[in-house]
Chains A and B, each alone.
Chain A
Amino acid sequence: MSAVATAIEPVEPFDAEPLDAGASGGAVVRRAVVVAGVPVVAVAAALAVGALLIAREGANPLAVYGEVLRGVFVAPRGLRNTAIGATPLVLMGLGLAIAYRARLFTIGAEGQFVLGAVVATAVATAGGVRDLPGWLLVPACIVIAAATGLVWSSISALLANRFNTSIVISSLLLTYVATAAMQWMIRVPIKDPASFVPASRVIGNAALPTVPGLHVHLGFLIAVALVPVAWLLMSRTRFGFRVDVVGHNPIALRANELPAGRMVVAVLALVGLLSGVAGYVQVAGVTDRINAEFSVDLGYTAIIVALLGRLHPLGVLLAGLGLAGLGIGFDVAERTHQLPSTLVGVIQAMIIIFVVVGDAVVVRLRARQERG
């Protein structure tokens, strides 16, 4: 996953000014092209490359893509699974989008996700606790998972402030620690005695209830509800303002608002909080328990979601649903057309490469334009 690190660090895909900085009519149009154009073109280009690969496998790309759409919109539970799949991506993507607007390039959501899930599961399944009612356990677990992720993510912030370490590196390495801790936890302290393979106890009463009428777990509603909250946070609060300022000019922030280090802590804490909650939501809404395969790199996919969503909460929601849908649809398409199951991963990776390249091109074009 260090490829992701190198992909986001050097170029500045976030150079697009905060969404409220547009000026003249022409500028607004140009911004719209940058904001929506790059991701749309990137997805199209990735699908085009994907089509070549599909053709190479001997299938008809159009038929495969048709099957992908059918898998999402027509097949039973396609939409429902898309919503469920998007939930952790949106939760983590919201936090990452804010961090990247502050130019804090954390890639540690995965570790916070895993650790939030493990700690919440450990508490929820502990003797004496597991019999408590769900209405008590669920909110308690959300708080515990949030706190766990927050603490884990804040380590990167404190290291950065104290020792000037790279947030990219420390957050990545902390993820390995978190994953290893999870693997140990499900083998020893919270192992389900009835299971032959390493797996935690079943989450039991702390499972998320299904939303009546929607057939999705409560976590999806939480994620969707947080979209406008994040939007308001960024556009209508001093905190959001400072996030943009620290991203563009930390020295001006230090001279006029507060030391930049405090924003580093606050922003990374927020990332961790959301990622921790995402981890709990995933166990309590989807997997029911944590096994060795619990983590499927959702914390990294969320980076793509944040970038593809142009670091805007609404974009994150759309990108999260889009990427989740891609996965669900390809699941179906791969089965019907007997394609390798790694295809969707290739296409996802292509998307991020094209977004990053597209942003770099836009930045360069703009620089050339300004130079005259």
Chain B
Amino acid sequence: MPPPPRQRATPEAVRASGVRKHFGRVVALRDVDVVLRAGEVHALLGENGAGKTTLVRILAGLEQRDAGTLTFAGEQVGDLDARAARRRGVALVQQHFTLVPTLTASENLVLARPRGHFLPTGRVAGQRLAALVERFGLAVRDGVPVAQLSVGEQQRLEILRALDADARVLLLDEPTAVLTGDEAAGLLAVCRRLADEGRAVVIITHRLGEVIDGCDRVTVLRDGEVVLADEPVAAHSVTTLADAMIGRHVPPVASTARVPTLPADAPVRLAVQGLSRGRLRDVSFTVRAGEVLGVAGVDGNGQAELEEVLAGLAAPDAGTATLDGAPLPHGAPRERIARGIAYIPSDRYRTALVRPMSLADNVELGRGRRWRPRRRVRRDAIADRLAAWQVRAAGPGAPVRSLSGGNAQKLVLARELAEEPQLVVTCHPTRGLDPGAAATVAERLLDAAARGAAVVWMGAELEEVLAVSHRVIVLSHGRLTGTFSPPFDRQAIGRAMGGAS
């Protein structure tokens, strides 16, 4: 149940306006405004890479903003480093724990929040921890190495440690991602209590239900911009929040994509039956020759696991995935390539490309023969292909890191789709690309389908997925919660994303 909207006027604890941040050429935040009030639990939502973590890291002084103003309790601050942020009562619990696993809880506490130049004795440290435990009612075992504590306990320790300096603003980056349902509910109750004591609490999460259940206000980021600013949660549902995260705006691909017609008698090529892996639970679907199957859903609901299994990077825990009747290979990339399985991964620089190496070398990746021709021959050999795939670069010898995102992705396509692919596994293929490049990439992928490949397209932007797919399946909490055919019912898809089957 959503809590009743708070009536009393709450003082602003933090106000950020026009915050901008870029890393290299990537813009992480552009002109972001956010207001945090004492006494409220504020949810910060957004897809991976939307800029949530960057925002809280700026508030905690771990990153410096490029532009914008920060106001703490009415006072504007200039440069904010981690110490200054802590002095102003801001505490961040990062997504990945920052505990020393071999030390005990109290040792971790006094190490990270020293008083004076010397570490206290074990007894004093224990008392300090015990005082915190009592004050905030968060149980943490002391006296054993932190590595032996449960994940929930470790997190409570992180929070206690953050609260040690009597934080007025508590920022929690995906605190529930590692927790079970009960633990998460407990954590939300704690957040509520901390807020009731007059703190401003921010929770980053992907679980929309938690926002509805446990938060007062919500801000949604998309591609570094605020798309839903500081709205009362009571005015929203899981569906509207999912919509805001995924985006309703029409991406360029949606207007240009021409989905090839699918013959009624096209044979099934990819058959996935009862597939489980990590978060992914018992997922079954088929893809026919020439068909594009869109996979929709909020990131972190099993897409990564599905990608890994289909791309042969990991074996399923249970279930089968077959292409033309034969199981998909795993742990044998050359076999994947020989079977005609093209893989355009979600993180092209991590998985598909070797940035310091040349374009020619990158095209050779996974395809090279035992003996390589001379360098000049190797480079000349791919010049035509680069032209055909419109990869703009200084030349085949240029390092991949000199390419723009769109050209890097076209290079991946030039490699993966060069021979007739039988199955195309692609995740966020247009992420970070300018409209022109995105359109080209989508066109090439649809081309592969038109030539008879089965295409699995996992997308971040719902409209894009709908525009390129013959059929769409939705993943939520690792389960397949809906299969949709055109004309697509966006309401129903939104509900499926929220977890309703």
Give the B-binding residues of A (Cβ under 8 A): 15, 17-18, 20-24, 235-238, 240-241, 244-245, 248-249, 251-252, 254-259, 370-371
Contact = CB atoms under 8 A, between A and B. Distances in A.
B412 to A, nearest CB: 10
A371 B66 CA distance: 14
A93 to B, nearest CB: 23
Interface stretch (B39-47, B315-323, B343-351): B343-351
B334 A248 contact: no
Q: Summarize A's interface: helix, strand, loop or mixed.
A: helix
Interface string B383-398: 0000000000011011
Given A252-B351, A255-B352, A23 B375 contact: no
A184 to B, nearest CB: 36
Nearest to B398: A23
A236 B394 contact: no
11 contacts: A18-B357, A21-B399, A235-B375, A236-B371, A236-B374, A241-B368, A249-B350, A249-B355, A252-B350, A256-B337, A256-B365
A371 B23 CA distance: 9
A21 B399 CA distance: 6
A21 B402 contact: no
A236 B372 contact: yes
B171 interface: no
Given A21-B399, A255-B343, A259-B331, A238 B370 contact: yes
Contacts of B352: 252, 255-256
A237 B372 CA distance: 5
B331 A241 contact: no
A84 B395 CA distance: 44
Nearest to B311: A255
Contact of B355 (A22, A235, A236, A248): A248
B96 interface: no
B24 A237 contact: no
Given A245-B354, A254-B333, A255-B311, A20 B375 contact: yes
Nearest to B415: A256
A100 to B, nearest CB: 15
Contact of B334 (A18, A257, A371): A257
Interface string B357-385: 11001001110111111110000000000
Given A238-B370, A241-B364, A251-B350, A21 B313 contact: no
A22 B397 contact: yes
Interface in B115-154: none
B357 A245 contact: yes
A306 B333 CA distance: 32
A176 B69 CA distance: 59
B24 to A, nearest CB: 7
A245 B365 contact: yes
Contacts of B313: 254-255
B333 A257 contact: yes
A73 B62 CA distance: 59
Contacts of B337: 256
